[in-house]
Amino acid sequence: MEFSLRCASVLVPFPFNNNKRNRGLLRAQLSDENDPLLRLAINSASLRLQETQRREPLFMDPYAGCLVPPHTRLNFENSSKHYCIATKFIDDKLLRTVNHMDGLKQVVLFSDGMDTRPYRLNWPSSTIIFDISPERVYQNAIEKLQDVGAKIPRSCLFLHVPLESSNIQEALHMKGFNGNRPSILAIQGLPLMTLASFKEILLTVSGMAMDGCLFLGELPAWLAETKIGTKSSTEKWMDNLFMSNGFKVNMVSYHKAAKSLGKALELGDHKYILFVAEQLRFSDDQMETWKIESQRVEEDRKGEDFE
């Protein structure tokens, strides 16, 4: 079995509706192991397995091997190095951030369904990890991970929300996500077909994350090209898109990230954008809490005036 390394997009029909917060925004129909979503998830697991087997790996993924079919052959390209640099960068940022959170820690991962971070990273106690990914890919992975004994760190909790959920934000709330508490959200490998699909994700994240929280990860560069067609304007495009949803965003250079890890990357075009964004607005839950408190203060004031 052979996979090309990284695809910029997956041409799978995702039906949309126009409600505000992700009403079934990416409903992927997965039928069998030839499905492109499953193939892409296996491909990324293959890259993590390859990195793990290096003499001096950037990270260790002891569970990637169980996700990769036997006799899988890879067409290695420079993009595999970019993927591993991005993976290490996201790993480190997630752990540094949650280790500075007090009390309950919330991590939201928008993934391809085979993200092993919940199992392979050393999460601090009281961390709740939410995975949002295609249901069939996730179920395929979870069976294999359970078979090899993969476990979440003690005193942590791992919860899955299907990407096909009619309302992702509501589904997260039902699982226990609290927009009045700090969180960190990351995206890597999530199947995106159109710019509109990412805008829906960004709108959802904006409603979930309280002010000061981070949203980071990796996006296919064609998202920007769809809108403007020139790479030189990508940074301006990112600024405008993220700021319109309440985020201040910084693009991260793969080469600088690699250098900080003692690695070097070949020059040339790359098909992904690495970023870190900070929420500047209140989350929907914060706004609701503020509204309730304002009403209470107003009612108390009216009561005092009446007396």
Residues 6+ apart with CB under 8 A from 60: 52, 120
- The domain tally of the chain equals 1
**pLDDT, tens digit, for every residue of 122-155?**
999 999 999 999 999 999 999 999 999 999 998 9
Residue 305 lies in a domain: no
* DSSP of 119-170: HHS-PPTTEEEEEEE-HHHHHHHHHHHHHTT--PPTT-EEEEEETT-S-HHH
Tell whether 61 is covered by a domain: yes
- Whether 118 is in a domain gets the answer yes
pLDDT tens digit sequence for 94-112: 999 999 999 999 999 999 9
pLDDT at 219: 95
Quote the pLDDT of residue 16: 38
Residue 45 inside a domain? The answer is yes
Residue 203: inside a domain: yes
Whether residue 306 is contained in a domain is answered as no
Q: Is residue 307 included in any domain, yes or no? A: no
Query: Tell me, what CATH number does 199's domain have?
Result: 3.40.50.150
Neighbours of 96 (CB within 10 A): 10
Tell me the pTM. 0.85
pLDDT of residue 204: 96
Task: Write out residues in the chain with pLDDT < 50, as ranges.
Answer: 1-5, 7-31
Ramachandran sector of residue 262 (left: φ over 0; alpha: ψ -120 to 50; beta: rest): left
DSSP state of 113: S
Q: Which domain holds residue 156?
A: 2-299
Q: Measured between alpha carbons, how far is 135 from 141 in angstroms, rounded to an integer?
A: 10
Q: What is the pLDDT of residue 99?
A: 96
